[in-house]
């Protein structure tokens, strides 16, 4: 079901030779005002340093950037200079690698970073227990406030599952439908996204014709925030369903669904299926629930009772062979769960997202431009 790796820590918390089940978690806090002046000074120097880094990428040593702490300069080299796609930086992020507890000190519920906070600490509120040291932190300034995100490992208890529950992500009506073939239970999750999307589409078309860009930006931000909120709630309901029934989660592999008739429905719905998938995966990892992918071909046309492929129109499913009648999304969710037992695309997806507990390679994250 799951796979664990031997952890490697070069300090007193060393657990070499032991099996550790852990996942990586990131939380965010607001930095106290007393550290703002220090961060503002490092930020102004970082803009100058990053501009030099991108101009001459051969100067990757911290000796060329003596105006700032070497820890910050080293992390900026990895995050920006070694990223060949990064040409310029508009909104700077200050990353700091934990270096196995040498650069970021953890003291109960507070973090001390000697190069920034000196002997003082920044209070944190971790949602999950922390295993080992803080892996890395990032500072960024938005609307005159400094924020800090910190990444750490948290232990995971593996759930013993007794089957699969299928999740069908929809382009019409509800966001997703989940079904358990053994108990026969079905849940339709999320609101009707088509009505809301069409309303926003009409409003944005009118504003665009009038040339009101400020309101367009505001509506796009509202749309993005509500989409994220709905995906968070739906993914939590899916995880709760899987925990209650002790099931692994089966999803369709939608990575190659941009073409064809189905791709038109996906484009028309304009819903963030990838974001929902990511939320499901990381929440499943935190609870020790495996996630698998299956081939999406004919999941909504195949009868979940007899396995015959039918021609389906609309949301009503009716089998010409066994006269089985059901909702199209519920029938697809049952098929996804059944196909997961025999038609898993990548068997490695059965394994949790776990790995070695060591210092991360700072800079492989998103470039905020």
Supply the CATH number for residue 321's domain: 3.30.420
**Alpha-carbon distance 115 to 79, whole Å?**
18
Instruction: State the pTM of this model.
Output: 0.74
**pLDDT at residue number 204:** 83
- Please check whether residue 364 lies inside any domain of the structure: no
Domain closes at, from 105, 136, 155: 155
Tokens 């909504």: give the residue.
300
Domain count, the chain: 2
CA 135 to each of CA 84, 104, 108, 138, 259: distance values in angstroms, whole numbers, following the listed order: 24, 8, 15, 11, 40
Is 122:105 a contact under the CB 8 Å cutoff? no
Which phi and psi angles does 172 have, rounded to 5°? Answer: -130, 160
Cα–Cα distance, 89 to 70 (Å, whole number): 20
Task: Give the Cα-Cα-Cα angle 115, 116, 120 (nearest 5 degrees).
Answer: 105
**Could you tell me which residues come within 8 angstroms of residue 37 by beta carbon, excluding any fewer than 6 positions away?**
none
Q: Is residue 363 part of a domain?
A: no
131/218 same-domain check: no
Residues 91 and 169 in one domain: no
- Domain match, 216 and 299 both: yes
Residue pair 361/12 in contact (Cβ under 8 Å)? The answer is no
Asked which of 122, 155, 188 is the last residue of a domain, the reply is 155
Predicted confidence at residue 17, as pLDDT, reads: 53
- Residue that is last in its domain, among 155, 179, 205: 155
Q: Would 78 be classed as within a structural domain?
A: yes
Residue 368 lies in a domain: no
SS3 label, residue 237: helix
The Cα 161–Cα 180 span in angstroms is: 12
Same domain flag for 24 and 77:
yes
Each residue's pLDDT expressed in tens, for the chain with a length of 369 residues: 444 544 444 444 554 555 557 788 889 999 999 999 999 999 999 999 999 999 999 999 989 998 889 999 999 999 999 999 999 998 899 999 988 888 999 988 899 999 899 889 999 988 888 888 899 999 999 989 999 999 998 888 777 888 899 999 887 778 899 999 988 899 999 888 777 777 888 888 888 888 788 888 888 888 888 889 999 999 999 999 999 999 999 999 887 766 555 555 555 555 688 899 999 998 998 888 999 998 888 888 899 888 888 888 888 888 888 888 888 899 999 999 999 877 554 444 444 433 333 333 333 333 333
The 3-state DSSP class for residue 188 equals: strand
Shared domain check, 135 and 84: yes
271, part of any domain: yes
Shared domain check, 310 and 333: yes
Q: Are residues 133 and 86 in the same domain?
A: yes
Same domain assignment for residues 178 and 133 = no
211 shares its domain with 133: no
**Residue 331 within a domain:** yes
Q: Which pLDDT score is estimated for 260?
A: 56
Residues 74 and 211 in one domain: no
- Whether residue 369 is contained in a domain is answered as no
| 228 part of a folded domain | yes
Q: Please indicate, yes or no, whether residues 216 and 323 belong to a single structural domain of this protein.
A: yes
pLDDT of residue 347: 41
SS3 content of the chain, % helix, strand, coil (to 5): 35, 20, 40
Q: Which domain holds residue 97?
A: 5-155
DSSP 80: I
- Are 207 and 122 contained in the same domain? no
């Amino acid at each position: 079901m799951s796979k664990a790796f031997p952890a490697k820590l070069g300090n007193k918390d060393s657990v070499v030779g032991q099996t550790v089940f852990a996942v990586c978690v990131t939380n965010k806090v607001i930095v106290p005002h007393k550290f703002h002046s220090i961060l503002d000074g490092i930020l102004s120097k970082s803009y100058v340093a990053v501009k030099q880094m991108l101009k001459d990428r051969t100067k990757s040593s911290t000796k060329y950037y003596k105006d700032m702490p070497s820890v910050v300069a080293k992390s900026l080299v990895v995050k920006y200079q070694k990223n060949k796609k990064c040409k310029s930086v508009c909104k700077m992020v200050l990353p700091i690698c934990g270096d196995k507890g040498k650069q970021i000190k953890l003291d109960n519920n507070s973090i001390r970073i000697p190069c920034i906070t000196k002997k003082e600490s920044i209070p944190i509120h971790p949602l999950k227990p922390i295993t080992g040291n803080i892996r890395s932190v990032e500072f960024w300034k938005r609307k005159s406030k400094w924020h800090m995100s910190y990444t750490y490992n948290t232990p995971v208890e593996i759930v013993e599952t007794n089957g699969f529950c299928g999740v069908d992500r929809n382009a019409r009506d509800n966001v997703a439908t989940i079904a358990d073939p053994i108990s026969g239970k079905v849940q339709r999750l999320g609101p009707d996204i088509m009505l809301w999307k069409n309303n926003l589409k009409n409003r944005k078309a009118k504003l665009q014709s009038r040339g009101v860009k400020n309101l367009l930006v505001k509506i796009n931000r509202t749309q993005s925030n509500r989409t994220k909120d709905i995906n968070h709630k739906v993914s939590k309901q899916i995880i709760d369903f899987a925990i209650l029934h002790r099931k692994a989660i089966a999803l369709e592999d939608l990575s190659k669904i941009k073409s064809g008739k189905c791709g038109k429905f996906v484009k028309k719905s304009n819903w963030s299926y990838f974001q929902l998938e990511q939320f499901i995966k990381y929440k499943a990892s935190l609870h020790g629930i495996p996630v698998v992918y299956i081939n999406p071909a004919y999941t909504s046309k195949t009868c979940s009772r007899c396995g015959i492929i039918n021609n389906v129109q609309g949301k009503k499913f009716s089998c010409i062979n066994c006269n089985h009648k059901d909702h199209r999304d519920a029938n697809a969710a049952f098929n996804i769960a059944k196909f997961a037992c025999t038609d898993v695309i990548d068997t490695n997806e059965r394994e949790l997202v776990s790995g070695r507990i060591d210092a991360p390679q700072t800079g492989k994250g998103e470039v905020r431009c």
